């Protein structure tokens, strides 16, 4: 969450920063909530101080053998007034906190303003989209040709088992999916210096609160029924980032870099009718996620390196892509800056997102109280957190099928994957 002191120290920065996201902040209402919260906090502290002073006074009078009845009468309602002040303070704090926690991060100063993806800014491109001398087919048509080439992407079976926006993969398709996961993990751990972690696929409210999915985006989550309020993870970012929730790490431990493969579960609320065909937008999909915890002064350069780590995967897979700077209105709520990688899909003749790399600065760390100890002051300070997909497995699979397709229906695989497939060069 944002630093609450910003509301009093620089309300214009707060208002103007959120305007980049297309949010019109009711500053007067928010300031009123803050004033009420501080008023009742101060009143509660005043009454507590008064109670302590009166208790000492009564104790001294008793010790001196004096009549304490007048003193007791004077404070007879102090307990009730204190209880009332505590209740009002708690109510005012909850009202402010509910509103404050719902505010997104402030975009960095050079992030372009804008409402949606149409106002994102292209930074660069890598690779040249292939020109085909035959009619290009999409990944669904290619993947369902199990009778001809042994590929098996079965959406009908998944619908029978569960419902729409799921897939069953068999044979070579399942093996290719697994090979991509292994390849990405090896690259990030052996070449880029990340530590691989394995985490639960269910998390509690505190974890989702820490990374910013709660309370505002509960409709995007799958909540499990039962005694404990568990949620299926929407991304490995949630459990991995929360590994440092409530922790204080030494300066020499930084940067901390984790790579993690998990399934991800999203309700896709509000996306009805979008990408309903195939594997582009599903309720369950796989990702290899990259998470970094860094010194606050190094998070900008860390975002550059994290993005390069994700780009390296696309380059080794020989997939054309472009790099996009997201505008304020298209960024996730917790991000201060986001760089998207978009891979070329021949069937759609456009680039589609395959990785979002974000610098959250101290927004998540403040919610989680994830800190490092400054050796110069000896005091704990908030870390900066970053994350990005390295990459989304399903969309990578889609891109490989479509970019590697041949006129006779075969799919040629990039050389870097062949050792993970027993030397196989095509599907």
Between the alpha carbon of residue 233 and those of residues 91, 200, 288, 396, 411, the distances in Å are 31, 8, 13, 20, 33
The residue length of the chain stands at: 427
Q: What are the catalytic residues? A: 266, 281, 353, 356, 395
Give the mean pLDDT of 202-228.
Answer: 92
Three-state SS string over 165-188 comes to CCCEEEHHHHHHHHHHHHHHHHHH
pLDDT at residue 146 is higher than 60:
no
CATH classification (class only), 26-101: mainly alpha
Residue ranges for the known binding site for L-serine are 235-237, 266, 289, 387, 389
Q: For the chain, give every domain's residue range.
A: 26-101, 117-421
Cα 80 to the chain's mean position, in Å?
44
Same fold, 26-101 and 117-421: no
Give the mean pLDDT of 378-392.
Answer: 98
Residue ranges for the known binding site are 235-237, 266-268, 289, 353-356, 387, 389
- Structure tokens of 291? 């998470």
Cα 358 to the chain's mean position, in Å?
8
Using an 8 Å Cβ cutoff, are 425 and 412 in contact?
A: yes
Chain mean pLDDT for the chain:
94
Using an 8 Å Cβ cutoff, are 256 and 353 in contact?
A: no
pLDDT at 216: 83
pLDDT at 147: 41
Give the mean pLDDT of 365-371.
Answer: 97
Cis peptide before 353 (omega within 30 of 0): no
Of the CA atoms within 13 Å of residue 215, those in its CB half-sphere come to 8
pLDDT at 427: 85
Task: Please give the Cα distance from 395 to 416 (Å, whole number).
Answer: 18
Over the stretch 151-192, which tens digit does the pLDDT of each residue have? Answer: 689 999 999 999 999 999 999 999 999 999 999 999 999 999
What is the SS3 assignment for 193? Answer: coil
Over the stretch 70-88, which tens digit does the pLDDT of each residue have? Answer: 889 888 899 899 999 999 9
Of the CA atoms within 13 Å of residue 132, those in its CB half-sphere come to 16
pLDDT at 254: 98
Q: Enter the DSSP assignment of 144.
A: T
Instruction: Please state whether the predicted TM-score (pTM) of the whole model is above 0.85.
Output: yes
Using an 8 Å Cβ cutoff, are 372 and 248 in contact?
A: yes
User: What one-character-per-residue DSSP string does 351-405 give?
Assistant: EEEEEEEEEEETHHHHHHT-EEE-TTT--EEE-EEEEEEEEEHHHHHHHHHHHHB
Residue ranges for the known binding site for ATP are 266-268, 353-356
Using an 8 Å Cβ cutoff, are 91 and 33 in contact?
A: no
Domain 117-421: which topology? BirA Bifunctional Protein; domain 2 (3.30.930)
pLDDT at residue 227 is higher than 90:
no
What element of type H or E holds 84? Answer: helix 78-101
Residue with tokens 């419902």: 163
Task: Please give the Cα distance from 372 to 378 (Å, whole number).
Answer: 10
pLDDT at residue 344 is higher than 90:
yes
Phi first, then psi: give them for residue 21, nearest 5 degrees.
Answer: -90, 0
């Amino acid at each position: 969450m944002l630093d609450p002191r910003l509301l009093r120290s620089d309300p214009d920065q707060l208002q103007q920063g959120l305007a980049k996201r297309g949010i019109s902040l009711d500053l007067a209402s928010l300031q009123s909530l803050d004033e009420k919260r501080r008023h009742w906090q101060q009143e509660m502290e005043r009454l507590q101080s008064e109670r302590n002073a009166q208790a000492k006074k009564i104790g001294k009078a008793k010790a001196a053998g004096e009549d304490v009845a007048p003193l007791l009468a004077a404070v007879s309602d102090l307990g009730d007034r204190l209880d009332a002040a505590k209740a009002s303070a708690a109510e005012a704090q909850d009202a402010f906190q509910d509103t404050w926690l719902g505010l997104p991060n402030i975009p960095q100063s050079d992030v372009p303003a804008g409402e949606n993806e149409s106002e994102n800014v292209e930074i660069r491109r890598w690779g040249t989209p292939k020109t085909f001398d035959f009619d290009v087919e999409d990944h669904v048509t290619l993947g369902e040709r199990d009778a001809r080439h042994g590929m098996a992407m079965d959406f009908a079976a998944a619908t029978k088992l569960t419902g729409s926006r799921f897939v069953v993969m068999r044979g070579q398709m399942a093996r290719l999916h697994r090979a991509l996961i292994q390849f990405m993990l090896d690259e990030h751990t052996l070449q880029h210096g990340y530590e691989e972690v394995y985490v639960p696929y269910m998390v509690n409210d505190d974890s989702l609160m820490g990374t910013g999915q709660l309370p505002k985006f509960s409709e995007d989550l799958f909540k499990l029924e039962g005694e404990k309020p568990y949620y299926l993870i929407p991304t490995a970012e949630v459990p991995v980032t929360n590994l440092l929730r409530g922790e204080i790490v030494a300066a020499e431990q930084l940067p901390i870099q984790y790579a993690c493969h998990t399934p991800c579960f999203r309700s896709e609320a509000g996306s009805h009718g979008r990408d309903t065909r195939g594997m582009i937008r599903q309720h369950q999909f796989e990702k290899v996620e990259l998470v970094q915890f860094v010194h606050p002064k190094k998070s900008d350069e860390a975002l550059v390196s994290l993005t390069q780590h994700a780009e390296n995967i696309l380059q080794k897979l020989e997939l054309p892509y472009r790099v996009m700077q997201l505008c304020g209105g298209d960024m996730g709520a917790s991000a201060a800056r986001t760089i998207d990688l978009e891979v070329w899909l021949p069937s759609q003749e456009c680039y589609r997102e395959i990785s979002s790399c974000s610098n959250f600065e101290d927004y998540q760390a403040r919610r989680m109280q994830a800190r490092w100890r400054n050796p110069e002051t000896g005091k704990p300070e908030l870390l900066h957190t970053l994350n990005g997909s390295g990459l989304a497995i399903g969309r990578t699979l889609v891109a490989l099928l479509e970019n590697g397709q041949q006129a006779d229906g075969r799919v040629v695989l990039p050389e870097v994957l062949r050792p993970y497939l027993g030397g196989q060069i095509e599907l």
